[in-house]
């Protein structure tokens, strides 16, 4: 079983936060079967922020090659709290930078916008070389393994599919998703059920829903999580397609490798314009991809369908 310490450090606050200041940390230590907050080294715990740490188990238990790939190519070394900030919410958004003790994070695909004078993208953060293809990822088949009591939703033997953690088959009980998803996200990135503490042996993991069962609750459901090798990373397909059709807000690796010179020039021009405006938080021009899709819905549907072709076959 893997033991690790993961540090979530507040790198930026976009607005005002009543809990955190830049530099505050949340430290989570794992012993292989559970995760504990180290309160001596943790400055504050905001439960709303914790709700968004959905990939925490991947950082606790996945191998270095999986973490390195996603940090290097897709830039998943940060996570935001759920608050949008003004004019939508009274509190601003806290951005957490993630590190794992003993694991050196190599370049990711762009800095935060904490310092408006930062070079963007910061050349020192752009990977010079990325291993392709990506490390093998997994789709997760979730079976209703056992129902104790009478559940109105679950039937023993029923199967639900989570395709590369982003595409869920219909019929899944909403109450169970919060219990299952952190483990699904980690297993998708190669974390083993035994290392996650949800199995004694073998490759399948077991997780129960939040219901506690009879006699005062109708039922409790035990789910079995089974990993199936996926053919290709969803993120790779998706970002590659976006770069090819001219979207300017994709990770730098995909921009440099797949985008046209016209798209690269447009990205540079937009960044210059964004800088002159003071880097507004929710700049409407970063939403250009949605307008591209709205303008040509058939092309958009084809792109989305093509992104899933390797997993739907």
- Confidence at residue 107, expressed as pLDDT on a 0 to 100 scale: 44
For residue 2, with 0-12 CB atoms within 10 Å meaning exposed, 13-18 middle and 19 or more buried, which class applies?
middle
- Confidence at residue 23, expressed as pLDDT on a 0 to 100 scale: 92
Q: List pLDDT tens digits, range 26-59.
A: 999 988 778 899 999 999 999 989 888 888 888 8
DSSP-derived secondary structure for 230-244: -SS-HHHHHHHHHHH
Length of the chain as a residue count: 313
Q: List pLDDT tens digits, range 240-249.
A: 888 888 888 8
Let me know: does 161 contact 139? Beta carbons within 8 Å: yes
Let me know: does 28 contact 36? Beta carbons within 8 Å: yes
Rounded to whole angstroms, how far apart are CA atoms 80 and 97?
9
Let me know: does 75 contact 110? Beta carbons within 8 Å: yes
- Confidence at residue 38, expressed as pLDDT on a 0 to 100 scale: 93
Rounded to whole angstroms, how far apart are CA atoms 257 and 241?
11
Let me know: does 219 contact 149? Beta carbons within 8 Å: yes
Q: List pLDDT tens digits, range 207-217.
A: 998 888 888 88
Q: List pLDDT tens digits, range 109-144.
A: 444 443 444 444 444 444 455 555 567 788 899 999
Confidence of residue 289 (pLDDT cuts 50, 70, 90): low
The pTM of this model reads: 0.76
Other beta carbons within 10 Å of 159? 12
Percent of the chain with pLDDT over 90: 20
Confidence of residue 88 (pLDDT cuts 50, 70, 90): confident
DSSP secondary-structure letter at 207? Answer: E
Q: Which two tokens stand for residue 16?
A: 């005002």
Beta-carbon contacts of 242 under 8 Å, excluding residues fewer than 6 positions away, are 250, 254, 289
In three-state form (DSSP H/G/I as H, E/B as E, the rest C), the secondary structure along 105-165 is: CCCCCCCCCCCCCCCCCCHHHCCCCCCCCCCCCEEEEEEEEEEEECCCCCCCCCEEEEECC
The least confident of 3-12, 70-79, 146-155, 178-187 is 70-79
The mean pLDDT value of the chain amounts to 79
């Amino acid at each position: 079983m893997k033991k690790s310490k993961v540090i979530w450090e507040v790198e930026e606050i976009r607005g005002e936060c009543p809990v955190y200041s830049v530099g505050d940390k949340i430290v989570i230590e794992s012993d292989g079967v559970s995760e504990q907050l180290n309160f001596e080294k943790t400055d504050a715990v905001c439960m709303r922020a914790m709700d968004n740490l959905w990939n925490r188990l991947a950082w606790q238990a996945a191998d270095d090659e999986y973490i390195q790939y996603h940090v290097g190519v897709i830039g998943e070394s940060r996570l935001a709290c759920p608050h949008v900030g003004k004019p939508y919410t009274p509190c601003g958004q806290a951005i957490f930078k993630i590190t794992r003790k003993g694991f050196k994070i190599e370049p990711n695909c762009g800095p935060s916008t904490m310092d408006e004078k930062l070079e963007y993208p910061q050349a020192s953060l752009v990977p010079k070389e990325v291993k392709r293809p990506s490390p093998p990822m997994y789709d997760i088949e979730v079976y209703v393994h056992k129902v104790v009591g009478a559940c109105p939703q679950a039937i023993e033997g029923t199967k639900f599919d989570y395709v590369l953690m982003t595409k869920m088959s219909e019929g899944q009980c909403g109450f169970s998703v919060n219990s299952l998803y952190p483990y699904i996200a980690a297993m998708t990135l190669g974390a083993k059920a035994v290392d996650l503490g949800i199995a004694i042996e073998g490759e399948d993991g077991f997780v129960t829903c939040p219901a506690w069962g009879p006699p005062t609750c109708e039922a409790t459901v035990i789910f079995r999580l089974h990993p199936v090798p996926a053919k290709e990373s969803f993120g790779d397909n998706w970002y590659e397609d976006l770069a090819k059709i001219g979207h300017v807000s994709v990770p730098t690796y995909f921009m440099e490798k797949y985008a046209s010179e016209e798209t690269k020039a447009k990205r540079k021009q937009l960044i210059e314009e964004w800088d002159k405006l003071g880097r507004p938080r929710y700049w409407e021009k970063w939403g250009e991809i949605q307008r591209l899709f709205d303008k040509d819905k058939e092309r958009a549907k084809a792109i989305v369908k093509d992104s899933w072709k390797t997993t739907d076959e």
